[in-house]
Amino acid sequence: MIRKIIRIDEEACSGCGLCVTACHEGAIALVDGKARLMREDFCDGLGDCLPACPEGAITFEEREAAEYDEGAVKKSRGSGGCPGQRITYRKTAVLDGLGADPENASDPGADRTGGAEAPSRLSQWPVQIKLVPVKAPFFQGAELLVAADCTAYAYAGFHEQFMKGRITLVGCPKLDGEDYGEKLGQIIRQNDIRSVTVVRMEVPCCGGLEQAVRRALENSGKYLPWQVVTISADGKILER
C-alpha cells in the first residue's frame, strides 16, 4: 500500500541515537553507528522521531510500504525488544563514581561489600563499540573506558576500579573482525571526552584494541590524557 513513512538519510545521520529513543514503536535502530528503519510495519507515520533528530536526517515520504501493524508493535513491547539497540543513561551512576575512593585505592581488586551484592557501575547502554552511537549525551564531559570484553571476567574489581565514574565501551577486535580506530576517532572528535583509559588482556590480539585507541587519539587532533592497563590471564594488573 502507498502511505506516509519516514525516510532516514544515513549520510546526514550522526548516529546520536535520539530518534531511537523517540520512536515509541521501536521501528528504528542503530546499525553500524547509523539510524535505520528496521520495520516498516512498526512505523506509524506520525513522526515522533523527526523533531528529535538534530541533523534533520529524517523526513517523510509517500511510497509503497507495509501497513502499520499495531498488534505486532504491542507484542514487541511486551517482549521488551532488544535492549542492545536502546540507548539509556544512568547519570547517577557516573556521579556516584566521581572522586577518589580511599578504601579501594589500596586494594582495587578486593571485595568491599561485606558479602552484600556489589552495585553495578555501568552508566549507559549500549556498551559494545560496534553498537554505540558516535554522538550521545552520555559522551559529553566523559571519562572514557575502552575495554577488551574479557577483562571484566578476568579482573574481580573491574566495576569499582575501572567502570566507576566512566563511560564504558567494550569490544574484541579478534571476534568482531574490525578496526575500531575510525569509530573511536569520531567519538573523540565529536564529543567532549576528557580522558581515555584502555583496559586490555595480556594476549597479543588485545594489542589491536590498544592500537585502535592510539590511532583514534592521533587522528582526533585533540590532546587527551590516556593510559593503558593490562590484565593477566590469572586476573592481576601487570606493571608496564
**Predicted confidence (pLDDT) per residue in 25-78, tens digit:** 889 988 878 889 999 999 999 888 988 898 999 999 999 999 999 888 887 765
Are the C-beta atoms of residues 117 and 159 closer than 8 Å to each other? Answer: no
> Is residue 171 very low, low, confident or very high in pLDDT (cuts 50, 70, 90)?
very high
Q: What is the mean pLDDT of the chain?
A: 84
Per-residue CA distances from 170 to 85, 104, 126 (Å): 15, 23, 10
**What's this model's pTM, rounded to 2 decimal places?**
0.62
**Predicted confidence (pLDDT) per residue in 92-150, tens digit:** 556 665 554 434 434 444 444 454 577 889 988 889 998 888 888 889 899 999 999 99
Residue 5: per-residue pLDDT? 94
Longest Cα separation, the chain: 66
Number of other CB atoms surrounding residue 126 within 10 Å: 21
Number of other CB atoms surrounding residue 230 within 10 Å: 20
Q: Which residue has the higher pLDDT, 7 or 77?
A: 7
Calculate helix-pair angle for 181-190, 207-220, nearest 10 degrees. Answer: 40
Give residue for cell 516498516: 40
